[in-house]
């Protein structure tokens, strides 16, 4: 068992903040420049990971083993992991085989 480290949680917090902050210029570039494979690819990774981290925090805070049981907690965690993987695959397929995420958002906004 590795010794406890006080900074272990801060790396996770720093990564969450960095991921959230990276979305601001990414959305701005997408809105100004329009559709581009690089920005669509980054959006297809950053947004699902950001959503995964948010839902994971919700599961940790509100669906912990004391409330839903160990099996229930594990089911929620694995359901989230599965949904995240499927979302990442869907974003990849949409970006490579269809119009891309930026163009989709643009068309939905104008509809």
Is residue 62 part of an annotated ligand binding site?
yes
Cα–Cα distance, 64 to 53 (Å, whole number) = 16
3 state SS for 21-72: HHHHHHHHHHHHHCCCHHHHHHHHHHHHHHHHHHHHHHHHHHCCHHHHHHHH
The separation between CA 2 and the C-alpha centre of its own chain, rounded to angstroms, equals 29
Feature table: binding site for a ubiquinone: 62
Feature table: binding site for heme b: 50
Feature table: binding site: 50, 62
């Amino acid at each position: 068992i590795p010794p406890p480290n006080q900074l272990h949680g801060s790396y996770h917090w720093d990564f969450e903040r960095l991921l959230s902050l990276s979305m601001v210029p990414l959305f701005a570039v997408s809105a100004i420049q329009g559709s581009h494979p690089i920005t669509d690819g980054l959006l297809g990774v950053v947004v699902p990971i950001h959503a995964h981290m948010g839902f994971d925090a919700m599961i940790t805070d509100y669906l912990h083993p004391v409330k839903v049981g160990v099996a229930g907690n594990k089911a929620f965690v694995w359901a989230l992991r599965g949904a995240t993987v499927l979302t990442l695959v869907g974003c990849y397929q949409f970006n490579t085989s269809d119009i891309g995420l930026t163009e989709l958002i643009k068309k939905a906004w104008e509809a």
